[in-house]
Amino acid sequence: MAWMRYALVALCLFMAGPYVPAHAQKHPSRTTTIVVSIGAGTGMDVLTRLYAEKLSQALGKAVVVENKPGAATMLAAAQVASAAPDGYTLVVLTSAALAINPWLYKKINYDPAQDFVPISLYVKSPFILVANPNLPAKTVPELIKLAKDSNPPLNYASVGAGTLQHLSMEFTKHRFGLELTHVPYRNSGQSVADLVAGHVAVGFVEAGASLPLIKDGKLRALAVSASSRLPLLPDVPPFSQAAGAPDFEAVSWHVLLAPAKTPREIVERLHAEMKTIMADPEMTAKASTIGLIPIETPSIAGMVDYIKAERDKWGALVDRLGLRGSQ
């Protein structure tokens, strides 16, 4: 009879319980790997290893870190872009891989807009605008005036055309109508040594490379390139504040991503776990002590929008400088 068939179906559904997708039931069932796009011992690596341990505790399965430096962070990006979208392979990238390299390089082996879904954007990595102590300018307004008045133009150091230090200064030049002469170096050590020696006047330098010299009085810190203060230099203003330009920010950032087709519920769980982990005072303190600025991660949609805005901003500058496809 019909009613008996309906009753049997209902009984089977009741015994089966609510439907849960297979990947949601099983994840994680094995080790998750986080690929770090730069070398071991760096600030990014140290911080990733700390939250990997906490993420392992939260997930109940091991989370390991694999360093994959090379090709301006693009080796790691390409590896994870083509990984299985199952939540077991993640990658930590910066603005270089996602917002600058797509414009700068003739060919890259991944699509930054299509191949990834962001999980957590948890720190910004600012630069410190430093000057040789003998330079007359002691503040950002004084530097802007000095740059406009100088003939020949002041020079500035970077670690090469297309790097974020170079683009940050070119962004500053365009924003404030300055003339400054670029002096490229092969690495931070050489550029900082020449800043200390007075061979170049100013430059945006990583916190790790400049902080000891600032504290020793061998370099003068004028501003931080982020829109908020750097915890290690609380008395040094953000460039935006010092220059009266609220829209100014020129930073790198660290973002944890998964391959684009990773199931939504896995991405959302990882996003929620990372939000909790990175809000821990231990994690914010550690990020601060290595020259980073901890931030509360935006929503998944918010991260997508932020990364796109950064890609548009730096892409426009790369085009203006004639550097598209130059590498």
In a domain, 2, yes or no: no
In a domain, 16, yes or no: no
| Domain finish residue from 220, 242, 264 | 242
| Number of domains forming the structure of the chain | 2
Looking at the structure, tell me whether residues 41 and 102 fall in a common domain.
yes
pTM for the full predicted model? 0.88
| Beta carbons of 88 and 258 less than 8 angstroms apart | no
Task: Please write the tens of the pLDDT for every residue from 250-265.
Answer: 999 999 999 999 999 9
Task: Please write the tens of the pLDDT for every residue from 146-183.
Answer: 999 999 999 999 999 999 999 999 999 999 999 999 99
Looking at the structure, tell me whether residues 115 and 136 fall in a common domain.
no
Looking at the structure, tell me whether residues 184 and 274 fall in a common domain.
no
For residues 316-320, average pLDDT: 96
Looking at the structure, tell me whether residues 74 and 173 fall in a common domain.
no
Q: What is the mean pLDDT of the chain?
A: 91
Looking at the structure, tell me whether residues 261 and 313 fall in a common domain.
yes
What domain range includes position 302?
26-124+252-320
| Domain finish residue from 211, 242, 273 | 242
For residues 199-226, average pLDDT: 94
The per-residue pLDDT for 26 is 80
Looking at the structure, tell me whether residues 199 and 117 fall in a common domain.
no
For residue 37, give the nearest of 10, 12, 74 by alpha carbon.
Answer: 74
For residue 63, give the nearest of 92, 34, 87 by alpha carbon.
Answer: 34
Percent of the chain with pLDDT over 70: 92
Looking at the structure, tell me whether residues 65 and 111 fall in a common domain.
yes
Looking at the structure, tell me whether residues 60 and 208 fall in a common domain.
no
In a domain, 18, yes or no: no
In a domain, 15, yes or no: no
| Domain finish residue from 221, 242, 263 | 242
In a domain, 273, yes or no: yes
In a domain, 144, yes or no: yes
Residue 23 has pLDDT above 50, yes or no: no
Looking at the structure, tell me whether residues 108 and 143 fall in a common domain.
no
Looking at the structure, tell me whether residues 142 and 187 fall in a common domain.
yes
CATH code for position 156? 3.40.190.10
Measured between its terminal Cα atoms, the distance across the chain in Å is 75
Looking at the structure, tell me whether residues 199 and 226 fall in a common domain.
yes
For residues 242-246, average pLDDT: 93
Q: Choose the weakest-confidence range: 4-18, 129-143, 307-321.
A: 4-18
Residue 3 has pLDDT above 80, yes or no: no
The per-residue pLDDT for 25 is 53
The per-residue pLDDT for 2 is 42
For residues 43-51, average pLDDT: 95
- Give the CA radius of gyration of the chain: 23
Q: Measured between alpha carbons, how far is 122 from 256 in angstroms, rounded to an integer?
A: 8
The per-residue pLDDT for 209 is 87
Confidence class of residue 123 from pLDDT cuts 50, 70 and 90? Answer: very high
CATH code for position 305? 3.40.190.150
